[in-house]
Amino acid sequence: MKYCDEYAALLDQFIDGECTPEEAERVREHLATCEGCRIYVADAYAIRDAFPTFEDTQVPDGFADAVCAEVRADAAPRKKPRHWVKLTVSLAACVAVIAAAVQLAPLYGGGSTAASTASAAAGSAGSEENSGMQKFAAMVAPESGTAESGASSSESNEENQLMTADTAQPSQSGGTASLVPKEGADLYNTQSEAGEKRYAAWISVTKAQIGTLLDGYEGTQSVDAVSGETFTRYELSRKEFDAIVAQLQNPKVTVDDNADTELCSIAVYP
Amino acid sequence: MNDNIPEQDLIEAAKKGDPDAFEVLVRRYEKRVYSLALRMCGNAENAQEAAQEALLSAWQGLPFFRGEAAFATWLCRLTSNACVDLLRKEKRQRAVSLDDEDLNLDLPDRGPGPHEAAERQELREAIGRGLTTLPDEYRTALVLREMQQLSYQEISDTLDVDIGTVKSRISRGRKQLRNFLTRTGNLFAAYPSKEAEKEGCK
């Protein structure tokens, strides 16, 4: 016996407790006289009653071990908010080491020693923070001072290059063009033909919606090309983006499956 | 011993980068995360990938977790997202639709057992099989409703579709699942019902 087409959609809302009291009353009155719909509702309850639960699922052997091994592999370079502060400090340290080395070089009879000292120092600083350095470089660039901005120039795609003594020197940083936020796109090859930066996923939210979720991250001020409104853009890895979006009410995420990047964007409007 | 550590302490330690604390959380929640992924994805291989992805997202995203929602809710949300992501990527690569696969399924015709518990277990297993025959969109919405008890609004948020679409996916998914169960002899086409008298709305 079939349910009534007229009630087909409403019955499910009734079963799920999602209809208004008036609709519920209407359904109840109908059920009193219609066996087909009564059977449908009964079946739905039977399905709910017997629906698989997590208790009766067998997790594959070694699943947690595999996840934890990944986590431990990721543990050392794990990114944290305010990471850019450390980067700035590391770069400042590099500059200081180079300056000291250059001053000391004549005393030890040659620039090559000084250069290798500087490289070694820069290399060790780089290894502490190596993961995600490129992405943070993109975030840091517009907000940093001259020395850091020079170092986070988009000229380099290599993490290590980012931290070498050469790029830390303002005179070889490639000029001040790298201070403009747009240049970060070069790091990810994410610019569309129209010159608009592309993201794997993005979302626009208000300051009230995002609350404190982005505290500790540095955004860049941007202007909406359509409305002319000013907003702050935060660029994040996909996992960071997902972790934040999973805490938002009613998020409307746009995904670009064709974007050649894992970088995501959150635009925060006042 | 780890079972006694309060969840909040583990979360705080994991937020600071302690992998041991996170491992305890993983072991506490692996079943919940994996079973949701299994029901949403419809097969073990994808479920494992999505569940792993969700837990790694949790690890990397913990600094953003403010504790306004329960950790379990947040994890389920990450899992749902990972499943939807995976299914979407797969769909782009797949030529054959799940509807077609449905027609080719060769499933045994199981009649009801003599005992109620056995019948229920049988129905449960049949539901598991039936879910795999549903189109991804219907299955994910129905699983979030029946397994996670999410409201239509919460499902709409999770799947990023409007609430009208959620209503329609649940309604169609439930009807297709019911048809499958009736066809395979796990639900009877007609019997008197007391359940129908239950209150449907809160």
List CB contacts of A237: < 8 A, sequence separation 6 or more.
A79, A132, A135, A262, A263, A264, B60
- Min Cα distance A174 → chain B (Å) is 33
Q: What is the pLDDT of residue B172?
A: 95
The reply to whether A149 and A236 lie within a common domain is no
The verdict on A90 and A183 lying in the same domain is yes
Same domain, yes or no: A177 and A206:
no
**CATH topology identical between B1-94 and B96-188:** no
Tell me: do A159 and A224 sit in the same domain: no
Q: What is the pLDDT of residue B1?
A: 59
pLDDT 10s digits, B2-51: 778 889 999 999 988 899 999 999 999 999 999 999 998 888 999 999 99
Q: How far apart are CA B90 and CA B93, in angstroms?
A: 5
Domain membership of residue A146 (yes or no) is yes
What is the Cα–Cα distance from A232 to A88, expressed in whole angstroms? 21
Kindly report the average pLDDT of chain B as a whole number.
81
CATH topology of domain B1-94: Rna Polymerase Sigma Factor; Chain: A (1.10.1740)
Range ranked top by mean pLDDT from A129-143, A153-167, A229-243, B162-176: B162-176
Give percent helix, percent strand, percent coil of chain A, each to the nearest 5. Answer: 55, 10, 35
A16 plus A42 within the same structural domain: yes
In a shared domain, residues A52 and A112: no
Residue B152: which pLDDT band, with cuts at 50, 70 and 90?
very high
What's the total number of domains in chain A?
3
pLDDT of residue B165: 96
Asked whether residue A65 is domain-assigned, the answer is: no
Q: Which pLDDT score, from 0 to 100, does residue A75 have?
A: 63
CA distance B97 to chain A (A): 20
Query: Could you give the CA distance from residue B170 to residue B161 in angstroms, rounded to a whole number?
Result: 13
pLDDT in tens, A70-84: 888 876 444 444 334
A45 domain-assigned: yes
ipTM (interface pTM): 0.73
pLDDT in the model for residue B106: 37
Name the residue range of residue A247's domain. Answer: 201-269
State the residue for tokens 């795999």.
Answer: B132
Mean pLDDT of the residues in chain A: 66
- Give pLDDT, residue A152: 37
Looking at beta carbons, which residues of chain A come within 8 Å of B120? 49-50
pLDDT tens string A44-70: 999 999 999 888 788 999 999 999 998
Do A78 and B57 make contact, defined as CB atoms within 8 angstroms?
no
Residues A221, A6: Cα–Cα separation, whole Å: 53
Residue A63 domain flag: no
| Nearest-10 crossing angle of helices B44-61, A238-245 | 90
From the candidates A82, A217, A239, which should be mutated to test the interface with B, based on the most B CB atoms within 10 A?
A239
> pLDDT digits over B94-123, tens only?
544 444 343 333 333 444 445 677 888 889
State the pLDDT at residue B94: 57
Residue B13: how many CB atoms within 10 A of its CB? 17
A196 domain residue, yes or no: no
Going by C-alpha positions, the residue among A32, A31, A36 that lies closest to residue A14 is A31
Same domain, A181 and A244: no
A176 three-class SS: helix
Q: Are B195 and A42 in contact (CB under 8 A)?
A: yes
The rounded distance, in Å, linking the Cα atoms of A146 and B38 is 51
Task: Take residue B30 and report the two structure tokens written for it.
Answer: 């692996």
The DSSP bridge partners found for residue A267 are: A204, A233
- Flag if A212 and B38 touch (Cβ within 8 Å): no
| C-alpha dihedral sign at A65, A69, A71, A76 | positive
Q: Select from A144, A39, A31, A49 the least CA-distant residue to A87.
A: A144
Residue A9 sits in the same domain as residue A93: no
For the segment A77-118, what is each residue's pLDDT rounded down to a tens digit? 444 443 343 344 445 554 555 555 555 544 444 444 343 333
The reply to whether residue A243 touches residue B78, judged by beta carbons under 8 angstroms, is yes
Residue A225's pLDDT band, with cuts at 50, 70 and 90, is: confident
Domain end, chosen from A125, A153, A187, is at A187
pLDDT band at B74 (very low <50, low <70, confident <90, very high): confident
Of B48, B66, B124, nearest to A63 by CB-CB distance is B48
Residue B31 with chain A: CB contacts under 8 Å: 54-55, 57, 59
Put simply, the answer to whether A252 touches B160 (Cβ < 8 Å) is: yes
Of B187 and B188, the one with more pLDDT? B187
Q: Which sign, positive or negative, has the C-alpha torsion B90, B91, B96, B97?
A: positive
Specify if A235 maps to a domain. Answer: yes
pLDDT level of residue B180 (50, 70, 90 thresholds) = very high
Per the CB < 8 A criterion, the answer to whether B59 and A74 are in contact is yes
HEC per residue, chain B: CHHHCCHHHHHHHHHCCCHHHHHHHHHHHHHHHHHHHHHHHCCHHHHHHHHHHHHHHHHHHHHHCCCCCCHHHHHHHHHHHHHHHHHHHHHHHCCCCHHHHHHHCCCCCCCCCCCHHHHHHHHHHHHHHHHHHCCHHHHHHHHHHHCCCCCHHHHHHHHCCCHHHHHHHHHHHHHHHHHHHHHCCCCCCCCCCCHHHCCCCC
Q: In chain A, which among 24-63 make CB contacts under 8 A with chain B?
A: 24, 27-28, 31, 35, 37-57, 59-60, 63
Higher pLDDT, B57 or A128: B57
* Same domain, yes or no: A50 and A140: no
What is the model's pTM? Answer: 0.56
Whole-number pLDDT of residue A237: 84
Same domain, A171 and A208: no
Confidence band of A148 (pLDDT split at 50, 70, 90):
very low
pLDDT at B159: 84
Q: Where are the domains of chain B?
A: 1-94, 96-188
Residue of A nearest to B150 (CA): A16
Domain B96-188 fold is: Arc Repressor Mutant, subunit A (1.10.10)
CB neighbour burial string for A177-196, b if at least 16 within 10 angstroms, e if fewer = ebbebbbbbbbbebbeeeee
